[in-house]
């Protein structure tokens, strides 16, 4: 593969001139420029980004770490990120972690070794993670995505109050026996906040919050577990009339389990999701859910990261203030309650108050 030296030779100039011709054409006499371009074309010269990156200050690489792409909420967000970097000449280095903190550590280290200019991360649990502090201490440009940690650089919705509003809607519809269904609570700061929101709404209505029904995401037999749990509740005479699922994907799985258990949604059971996946609107009945603007979350996070990166031009030492202090704190985007066919009034037979 032709390198810059070959081009220089063919164009009859020095490699410095070739470099200039390619990066700052205005510094080169038009005639020389033309010769260089011709030579480069003839040799099918393809600049080696590694050489430039090793030499230069920036790589133009952005590290993106997400839990999974199996949940469209993350794919959507990635679309927003892509949209934001489009045209900036930057590229994305992508890693998924399957919500595994061990993999999170490795992935970040890997991205850093590749000398990414900045990091866009969705952590399983940002609040209990020393990782972010370490990154900040090292001066790595970084924005959290979806993680909702007030004092950190992140972009998200206010999960707690969003969840509270969703649950309030269930209560308004007449439900009193509402249970939150979620993946492992300890593994996700978002789920935890949404559970707090659930509790807020219940208490505000004078109801007693119930323990969340935690269900293993990774287990294959999810439907099975849901049915068992329902049967148990049935026996206890404590079957809820509404389920608040900590995300839409889970809601879809739960609805399937309900169907298989012979329960109709919303006649026998109301279901509320969280995320606002596009597919929810295509279902019938349509999925009621708390909508977060996923694409916008991704887009804003990327934009903030770029601003953060650009704000660091040649700064050093203690005298340096961040270009914009707001980049160091949370950006909370507005959520929205999407009413849908999966929520209705509770069945009369359950109306035991």
Partner DNA sequence: ATGAAAGCGCTAACAG
Partner DNA sequence: CTGTTAGCGCTTTCAT
Interface positions, 243-262, toward a copy of itself (CB under 8 A): 252-253, 255-256, 259
Least Cα distance to 289 among 165, 182, 160 occurs for: 165
Q: Does residue 223 interact with a copy of itself by CB under 8 A?
A: no
Whether the CB-CB separation of 170 and 205 falls below 8 Å is answered with no
Residue position matching structure tokens 């927003």 = 80
Q: Does residue 101 interact with a copy of itself by CB under 8 A?
A: no
Piece of the chain touching a copy of itself by CB under 8 A; list 52-60, 154-162, 307-315, 335-343: 52-60
Whether the CB-CB separation of 280 and 286 falls below 8 Å is answered with yes
Contacts of 176 (CB under 8 A, 6+ apart): 207, 241, 346, 353
Contacts of 211 (CB under 8 A, 6+ apart): none
Q: Using CA atoms, how far apart are residues 276 and 139, in angstroms rounded to an integer?
A: 34
Minimum CB distance to DNA, residue 47 (Å): 4
Of 54 and 204, nearer to a copy of itself (C-beta) is: 54
Q: Does residue 311 interact with a copy of itself by CB under 8 A?
A: no
Q: Using CA atoms, how far apart are residues 66 and 216, in angstroms rounded to an integer?
A: 19
Contacts of 200 (CB under 8 A, 6+ apart): 160, 161, 163, 164
Tell me the C-alpha to C-alpha distance, in Å, between residue 95 and each of 92, 109, 127, 338: 10, 11, 21, 31
Minimum CB distance to DNA, residue 30 (Å): 7
With CB under 7 A as the contact rule, the residue among 9, 43, 47, 229 that binds DNA is 47
Which tokens in the block code for residue 286? 């349509």
259 binds, among a copy of itself, DNA, none (CB under 5 to 8 A by kind): a copy of itself
14 binds, among a copy of itself, DNA, none (CB under 5 to 8 A by kind): DNA
Contacts of 269 (CB under 8 A, 6+ apart): 240, 241, 242, 243, 258, 263
Tell me the C-alpha to C-alpha distance, in Å, between residue 165 and each of 10, 71, 146, 240: 69, 23, 18, 19
Minimum CB distance to a copy of itself, residue 89 (Å): 8
Interface positions, 271-290, toward a copy of itself (CB under 8 A): 279, 281-284
Interface positions, 125-164, toward a copy of itself (CB under 8 A): 138
Minimum CB distance to DNA, residue 324 (Å): 25
Q: Does residue 110 interact with a copy of itself by CB under 8 A?
A: yes
Interface positions, 7-36, toward DNA (CB under 7 A): 12-17, 19-20, 22-23, 27-29, 31-33
Q: Does residue 5 interact with DNA by CB under 7 A?
A: yes
236 binds, among DNA, a copy of itself, none (CB under 5 to 8 A by kind): none
Contacts with DNA: how many residues (CB under 7 A)?
29
Interface positions, 48-67, toward DNA (CB under 7 A): 48, 50-52, 54-56
Q: Does residue 47 interact with a copy of itself by CB under 8 A?
A: yes
Q: Does residue 282 interact with DNA by CB under 7 A?
A: no
Minimum CB distance to DNA, residue 97 (Å): 25
């Amino acid at each position: 593969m032709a390198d810059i030296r070959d081009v220089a030779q063919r164009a009859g100039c020095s490699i410095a001139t070739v470099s200039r011709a390619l990066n700052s054409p205005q510094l080169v006499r038009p005639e020389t420029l033309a010769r260089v371009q011709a030579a480069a074309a003839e040799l099918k010269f393809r600049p080696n980004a590694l050489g430039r990156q090793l030499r230069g200050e920036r790589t133009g690489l952005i590290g993106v770490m997400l839990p999974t792409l199996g949940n469209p909420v993350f794919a959507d967000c990635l679309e927003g990120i892509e949209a934001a970097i489009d045209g900036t000449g930057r590229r994305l280095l992508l890693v998924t972690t399957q919500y595994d903190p061990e993999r999170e550590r490795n992935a970040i280290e890997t991205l850093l070794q590749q000398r990414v200019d900045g990091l866009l991360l969705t952590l399983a649990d940002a609040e209990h993670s020393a990782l972010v502090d370490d990154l900040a201490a090292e001066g790595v440009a970084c924005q959290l995505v979806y993680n909702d940690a007030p004092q950190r650089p992140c972009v998200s919705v206010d999960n707690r109050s969003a969840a509270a509003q969703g649950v309030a809607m269930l209560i308004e519809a007449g439900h009193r026996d509402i249970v939150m269904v979620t993946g492992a609570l300890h593994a996700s700061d978002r789920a935890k906040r949404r559970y707090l929101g659930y509790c807020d709404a219940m208490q505000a209505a004078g109801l007693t919050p119930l323990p969340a029904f935690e269900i293993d995401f990774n287990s294959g037999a999810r439907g099975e577990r849901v049915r068992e749990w329902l049967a148990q509740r049935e026996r206890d005479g404590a079957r809820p009339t509404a389920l608040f699922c900590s995300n839409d994907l889970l809601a879809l799985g739960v609805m399937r389990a309900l169907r298989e258990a012979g329960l109709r949604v919303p006649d026998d059971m109301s279901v509320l999701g969280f995320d606002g996946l596009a597919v929810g609107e295509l279902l019938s009945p349509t999925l009621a859910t708390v909508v977060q603007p996923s694409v916008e979350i991704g887009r804003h996070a990327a934009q903030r990261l770029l601003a953060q990166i650009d704000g660091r031009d040649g700064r050093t030492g203690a005298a340096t203030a961040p270009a914009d202090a707001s980049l160091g704190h949370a950006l909370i985007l507005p959520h929205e309650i999407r009413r849908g066919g999966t929520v209705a009034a509770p069945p009369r037979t359950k109306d035991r108050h």
